Structure 1
Amino acid sequence: MSAIEQRIEEAGYTLPAVGKPLAAYVPTMRDGDSIYTSGQLPMVDGKPAGTGKVGQDVSVEDAADCARICVLNALAAIKAEVGDLDKITQITKVVGFVSSASDFDQQHIVINGASEFLADIFQEKGQHARSAVGVAMLPMNVPVEVEMIVKVQD
């Protein structure tokens, strides 16, 4: 088991199997030493971990938990691409989309669920640039979607 996967387990999580794409895309795309993930939904065993709009149907805390699940799904896709999460040398960028009630303005707090989790697991390598964007709706009515860019070494 990689050191990163061990930290994930110590945090109380398990790296899932790579989810099957829900449409016409691939889970990751590699360009040199960068890996781009497709947007990852908070799917657990093929089903959404939550649904609805944040600030209306979903609490900030539950949405932040969903953001962590999205990160786990992204890391599973990256592992399938490179074989070992210890090959990640830097989390470069995180983009989070939050399905938001019309007056909800705490998207940045929701996506902290992803950012803080990455910092805990990857430590200094987990520091990253980030965007947190409120949207009207996400696929399958999930509250959060996260995509990542990471640097890897062979």
Structure 2
Amino acid sequence: MSRIEARIEDLGLALPAPMLPPGNFKLVNVYGGLAYISGHPAIDGSTVLVQGVVGRDLTVEEGYEAARLAALSIIASLKHELGDLDRVTSWLRAVGYVQSAPEFHDNAKVVNGFSDLIIEIWGEAGRHARSAPGQGPSPLDVPVIIDAIVAISE
């Protein structure tokens, strides 16, 4: 078991099944020491775990939890693509798109669910640049979709 997988287990968490790509694209594209990660919601294989609009159907706390689950989905895709999560040496950037009600302005608090978990698992190597824009209707009515870029070792 890798150091990162042991840390996930120590936190009492489990990885979901890797997301199935809903189209003709890669979920993780490795190039030149980087892994570019396509947008992931809170999903287990092809089963969406959370749906709704933050600020209308969901609270900030529920959105935060959805972002944590999206982080686990991303980690599952990284494990599937890389084999060893210890190959992830640094989280560089993440964008968390929050499906939010027009009057909702706490997108950053929602996406903190992703950032907090990544830092809990990777420590300082998990600290990343980030944006958290609000958006209108999202695919599958998911509250948050997160994409990211990580540095990897051979």
Structure 1 length-normalised TM: 0.96
Residue equivalent to 2:78: 78
TM alignment of 1:24-103, pairs within 5 A: 24-103=24-103
Give 1:108 deviation, angstroms.
0.3
1:49-81 per-residue CA deviation (whole Å, 9 max, x = no partner) reads: 111110000111111111111111111111122
Looking at structure 1, the residues matched to 24 and 120 of structure 2 have their Cα atoms a distance apart, in angstroms, of 33
Secondary structure at the counterpart of residue 75 of structure 1: helix
Secondary structure at the counterpart of residue 110 of structure 1: helix
Amino acid at match of 1:12: G
Task: Check whether the contact 1:5–1:15 (CA below 8 A) recurs between aligned residues.
Answer: no
Looking at structure 1, the residues matched to 133 and 11 of structure 2 have their Cα atoms a distance apart, in angstroms, of 27
Residue equivalent to 2:13: 13
What is the percentage of aligned positions where both structures have the same residue? 38
Looking at structure 1, the residues matched to 45 and 93 of structure 2 have their Cα atoms a distance apart, in angstroms, of 26
Looking at structure 1, the residues matched to 42 and 104 of structure 2 have their Cα atoms a distance apart, in angstroms, of 20
Task: Check whether the contact 2:18–2:45 (CA below 8 A) recurs between aligned residues.
Answer: no
Secondary structure at the counterpart of residue 38 of structure 1: strand
Residue equivalent to 2:133: 133
Give 1:128 deviation, angstroms.
0.4
Looking at structure 2, the residues matched to 100 and 7 of structure 1 have their Cα atoms a distance apart, in angstroms, of 32
Looking at structure 2, the residues matched to 34 and 12 of structure 1 have their Cα atoms a distance apart, in angstroms, of 28
Looking at structure 2, the residues matched to 98 and 59 of structure 1 have their Cα atoms a distance apart, in angstroms, of 12
Looking at structure 2, the residues matched to 63 and 47 of structure 1 have their Cα atoms a distance apart, in angstroms, of 17
List runs of 5+ in structure 2 lacking aligned partners.
none
Residue equivalent to 1:144: 144
Superposition CA RMSD, Å: 1.1
Runs of 4+ off more than 4 Å: none
